[in-house]
Each structure stands twice: as C-alpha cells, then as structure tokens.
Amino acid sequence: MLRRGMPTVAGRLGWMVVALVVGVVGVARPAHAQAPAAQAQAVANQRLFPNDGGMVLNFIKADKTADFEEVMGKLKEALQKSDKPERKQQAAGWKIYKSPDPAAGGNVLYIFIISPSVKGADYQVSNLLVEGLGNNAETNALLKKYAESYATGMNIVNLQVLQDLGK
C-alpha cells in the first residue's frame, strides 16, 4: 500500500540525484560532483576528457569499498572484452588508485588517473557497464552497488600537459 506524501525509494534516489546535480552547478568547472546512475541505462551526459588526461576523485563509504572494487573489476572486464578499439585504448590509459590514508569523514579515496585520454570517448562508468554487460538485472545490481558506495560523489578534473619532465 502506498501512502500519499511518502516518496518511494526510487523517487528519493531521483530527488537525491537532482539535488546533487543542482548543488554542484555553481561549483567551478574543473571539479564537480557526478551522481552514478541507479538503473541499467545509458545516461545522456557523457564523461569526456577533451584534453590530454583527467583525474577523478571518488569518495567511497568505508563499508562499501568491496562493492566499489567489484564494480571496478566489472568495468575492467567490460572494457577488455569490447570490440571497440577505443575501449581498449581507454583501459590502457586508465588507472585506479586507492589511498591508504583515510579521507574526510572516514571515507576512502579512490582516484582515477586517465592519461592519455581518448578524445571523444565516453568515460561515464554507468554507460560503459551498460554497453559492455548489457541492460539486465546483473547490471542493474552493479549500478545500484556503485551508486550506494559513494559518500559524497566525485570530483572531476580535466588536465592539459604543461611540461613532460621526462622528455
């Protein structure tokens, strides 16, 4: 039985995503939060890194690190089994780091370092999972774990090489 005035779980999640997006619109362009998708469907907003590389700071709840790492394993699998050459290029330039130091609030910091970036390629994790694994119950479950693992969202930074000190 549904009660009027009480939002459903899906409704609450939708409003949380809207609030998160609205909350970061005013933040500077280089670092803004992104809410992961909660359903197995491609999202309209692609995550592009149009410059030389990028960095994403992911703030994950301490008790959800196993879920996040499981999703990252499935992401690797999806990129590696793709028939699209740009997916293999993305995988080759995408490293995931885990900080051994606690982040604010006792959360865990995972960092994506993307160098070099594949120009025009979508780095949106939810889109890549749906593309690689299909729109099915397993992908829905993964995306739910992914969304629920985030403590505060993520900060995205596009990077342009200023100097390569090794050359």
Mean pLDDT by groups of 10 residues along the chain of 167 residues: 41 36 30 42 77 97 98 97 96 98 95 96 96 95 97 94 94
What's the predicted TM-score (pTM) here? 0.74
In a domain, residue 14? The reply is: yes
Q: For 15-44, what is each residue's pLDDT tens digit?
A: 333 333 323 322 223 333 444 444 444 556
State residue 6's pLDDT score: 39
What range defines the domain where residue 87 resides?
Answer: 9-159
State residue 19's pLDDT score: 34
In a domain, residue 4? The reply is: no
In a domain, residue 167? The reply is: no
Q: For 5-23, what is each residue's pLDDT tens digit?
A: 434 434 433 333 333 332 3
Domain count of the fold of the chain: 1
State residue 27's pLDDT score: 29
State residue 86's pLDDT score: 96
Q: Would you give the distance in Å from CA 3 to the centre of its chain? A: 34
In a domain, residue 1? The reply is: no
* Cα radius of gyration rounded to whole Å, the chain: 17
Alpha carbon distance 13, 8 (integer Å): 9
Which of 67, 161, 162 lies closest to 110 in space, CA to CA? 67
Task: State the distance between the two ends of the chain, measured CA to CA, in whole angstroms.
Answer: 67
In a domain, residue 164? The reply is: no
Alpha carbon distance 43, 63 (integer Å): 27
In a domain, residue 166? The reply is: no
